Structure 1
Amino acid sequence: MSLRGIRLVTFDATNTLLKFRIPPWSYYTLIAKDYGFTGTEKDVKEKFIDSYNFMWKKFPNFGKRIIPWNKWWQKVIEKTFEGQVPKDKDLAISEILIEEYKSPKLWCVAEGGRYLLNALEKKRIMLGVVSNFDPRLHDILRNVGILKQFKFIITSYEVGCSKPDKQIFIHAMKKFGLSNPKECLHIGNDMRKDYEAAISAEWHALIVPSPENLLTNQSEKSTPAPEHVFPSLQILAKAIERNELKL
């Protein structure tokens, strides 16, 4: 089938709809060098991924109900540079990074993203974002120029549950006033958090795999149908325009 019957399409944010202009560890390294850091980008990458995963396990969902989200990120950054910069410089580095990661200097819309959003709008399909993210996502989408195309933005931090919990998809349906999950489609890059999670909520799902998705394990319980996998948003948009999509 095509998109007939679909009333709502939601997107994951990081590495699906949005891409980093440069890898986070590259920019972290650049900023930290102004504060005495002498290590390598490889060191920062390894420490950043470990720190992120440690904090997510100890304080899930950016510390929701435990610590403020910005304090959560301060701790990630502090652990990333632990023993590598003077102790009193951690806060200065984290304040810069937390603020600048709202900026279009560091984020851009993924290739074909604007094209796909416009193609869906032409079909009068309502659009939303369902993402494991902190509240800065609203600012980021505004700063890259696509916020107004969405009916709603749902971040895991703001609603208190994160993918792969299917409750975040149920929340999205309620937000839009829908009761039939078969009228909903989610597009993401992560097998477990996007594809499998949406399917578990009885939604339709498509996946645009991303090699950059390094922060969490892709615990794949199943393989998606080949017709549900697209190498880019651009190619997905073309398939929609030609009514070649199979859900």
Structure 2
Amino acid sequence: MSLTSQFVANLKRFRLVTFDVTDTLLRLNDPLRQYQQTAEEFGVTGVDRRKLEQCFRQQFKAMSSEHPNFGRFSPEMDWQQWWLKFVAQTFICVDQGLSHEKLEKIGHRLITHFRTSTCWNHVEGGQELVQSVRNAGKCVGIISNFDPSLPQVLDTMGYAGKFDFILTSYEAGFMKPDRRIFEIPLKRLDIPADQALHIGNKLDLDYEGARNCGWSGLLVNDNSNQHSFANLSDLLETLKTKEIKW
């Protein structure tokens, strides 16, 4: 994969380039459908999708408030238990008559299932962009609000060996946009903030989070500023063909 001179010039100032994952490099494949299908495997049929979506959003907000960062600092709760409780509460919200045993089985199956390629799709342009950045000689990493299973997800989606490090919020103990999660790789690699670039899809978590720590940022699925692009393919094409003003 050859690099254009403009691509090299655009990234010249950076020694470190990091990526968000969900909806930046990878996209979930209809998670509510996965919940419905898994419930059906254990005899729970006729789950109303609208009700399931309402309960999913409600319980995710509640769990994230009560046990932030996938239960990172919640006593007697690891990240898997966080997901088990979330799944159970979501389905109880839909149907209070489900047994604890059945909810446990559904939860364990979903935890396993969401770490496979069945539940994820590649965002167009992602693999090419990551490889191009690597070919440009940059240190390439991941900074993501995710549980410790992220390396497994990336491996199963063909990203094995493509990153110099994978930093999850669970490992860091801080979630984006907390500046401390962006400071960790700088300290580990002894790289100044003005030589680091983060690419993500959330204005507050990724773009502003990075810039508030002295990084540069690029944003996809957004059109809010000069560093925003409709999608990853447009970002890649711009890096190849146009000068970006940092």
TM over 0.5: yes
TM-score, L = length of structure 2: 0.89
2:34 to 24, 27, 31: 27
1:10 to 9, 18, 29: 18
Aligned to 1:218: none
Aligned to 2:73: 65
2:99 to 86, 91, 97: 86
Alpha-carbon distance in 1 for matches of 2:97, 2:217: 43
1:204 aligns with 2:226: no
| 31-40 or 187-196, larger mean C-alpha shift | 31-40
Cα shift at 1:91: 0.3
Cα shift at 1:243: 4.4
Alpha-carbon distance in 1 for matches of 2:242, 2:167: 28
Cα shift at 1:147: 2.8
Aligned to 2:6: none
Deviations 1:116-160 (A, max 9, x none): 112212211221000000011000011111131111000000111
- Contact kept, 8 Å, 2:67 with 2:73, in 1: the verdict is no
Aligned to 2:108: 95
1:133 to 140, 143, 146: 146
- The count of aligned residue pairs is 232
Larger radius of gyration between Structure 1 and Structure 2:
2
Aligned to 2:245: 246
Aligned to 1:158: 171
Structure 2 alignment gaps of length 5 or more: 1-8
Alpha-carbon distance in 2 for matches of 1:118, 1:126: 11
| 72-81 or 119-128, larger mean C-alpha shift | 119-128
Aligned to 1:186: 198
- Pair 1:30–1:183, CA change in 2 (3 A): same
- Contact kept, 8 Å, 2:210 with 2:216, in 1: the verdict is yes
Structure 1 alignment gaps of length 5 or more: 211-222
2:48 to 40, 51, 55: 40
Aligned to 1:231: 230
Cα shift at 1:25: 1.1
Alpha-carbon distance in 2 for matches of 1:62, 1:194: 19
- Contact kept, 8 Å, 1:182 with 1:204, in 2: the verdict is yes
- Contact kept, 8 Å, 1:119 with 1:237, in 2: the verdict is no
Cα shift at 1:161: 0.8
- Contact kept, 8 Å, 1:12 with 1:131, in 2: the verdict is yes
The one-letter amino acid paired with 2:33 is S
Cα shift at 1:4: 1.9
- For residue 27 of structure 2, give the secondary structure of its aligned residue in structure 1: strand
- For residue 148 of structure 1, give the secondary structure of its aligned residue in structure 2: coil
Cα shift at 1:86: 3.0
- For residue 27 of structure 1, give the secondary structure of its aligned residue in structure 2: helix
TM-score, L = length of structure 1: 0.89
Structure (1/2) with the larger helix percentage: 2
Cα shift at 1:88: 2.1
- Pair 1:46–1:192, CA change in 2 (3 A): same
Deviating beyond 6 angstroms after TM superposition, the runs of 4 or more aligned structure 1 residues are none
The correspondence of residues 97-136 of structure 1 with structure 2, limited to 5 A, is: 97-136=110-149
Aligned to 1:146: 159
- For residue 135 of structure 1, give the secondary structure of its aligned residue in structure 2: coil
The one-letter amino acid paired with 1:113 is G
The one-letter amino acid paired with 1:99 is T
The one-letter amino acid paired with 1:23 is D
